[in-house]
Amino acid sequence: MLIKAFEVGQLSTNCYIVIDEKTLCCAIIDPGAESGRILNYLAENNLKPVCIFLTHGHYDHTTAVPTIRSELKIPTYINKKDVNAEGKHSSMKFDVDKIDEVWYYADGDKIEVGGLTFTVMETPGHSEGSVTLVCEDALFTGDTLFRDSCGRTDFEGGSMEVLLGSLKRICSLEGDYEVYPGHADYTSLDRERRFNFYVRRALES
């Protein structure tokens, strides 16, 4: 597995392209902006994009989806709790009216990308529909878990109590994992278990 990271947009969102090196099939995680840059990388490296995964519906993680979807014709996956209700629009939830072929994933779902398997963990708190994607020894945590911190809970659908429960669930996974968050630096699960105040608080609850 090869992971290519792009820092995109005004809020420096981490967009990841996760590649099965044997088949060159790949998934695009959280394309928040700069669609041209992402599409150029895919083309220059002869990659075979299979799908777009969204860790949650906030605009800084989803803005480039319509352009990428129109170019590549691949499905977009999101938890339904982070999708706008009919007739209701908000930058805090993803607007599915902008694209077609939206698939809803939920806790325990597994999606194949070449020889890679992504498993969905629902990890709400930053938003109602936040998920963490588990693939081999990597966790793509969106805005749930950061290095030394966690996501904000003052947005629509946020809850610190719920988020602490999600952090406890993530950090109760057996063994160590590489953690690829939605913003800022990468980290490891063992490191966050030791040094992250919010994780320690969650594990003690």
The structural domains of the chain, with segments of one domain joined by +, span 2-204
Crossing angle (nearest 10°) for helices 197-204 and 160-171: 90
DSSP bridge partners of 142: 181
Token pair 């041209």 in the structure block, residue: 36
Output the pTM of the full model: 0.96
Alpha helix locations (H) across the chain? 35-44, 59-62, 65-72, 160-171, 189-195, 197-204
Q: Is the pLDDT of residue 167 over 70?
A: yes
Q: In this structure, how many other beta carbons lie within 10 angstroms of the beta carbon of residue 172?
A: 10
pLDDT the model gives residue 21: 97
pLDDT band at 85 (very low <50, low <70, confident <90, very high): low
| Distance, CA of 51 to CA of 110 (rounded, Å) | 13
Q: What is the pLDDT of residues 115-150, one digit of tens each?
A: 999 999 999 999 999 999 999 999 999 999 999 999
Q: What is the pLDDT of residues 38-80, one digit of tens each?
A: 999 999 999 999 999 999 999 999 999 999 999 999 999 999 9
Domain 2-204, second-level architecture: 4-Layer Sandwich (3.60)
Q: What is the pLDDT of residues 87-114, one digit of tens each?
A: 556 667 888 877 778 999 999 999 999 9
| Distance, CA of 24 to CA of 65 (rounded, Å) | 21
Q: Is the pLDDT of residue 20 over 70?
A: yes
Cα–Cα distances in angstroms (integers) from residue 144 to residues 28, 56, 68, 130, 167, in the given order: 18, 10, 25, 7, 7
Q: What is the DSSP annotation of 93-112? A: SB-GGG-S-EEE--TT-EEE
Amino acid at 64: A
pLDDT the model gives residue 194: 97
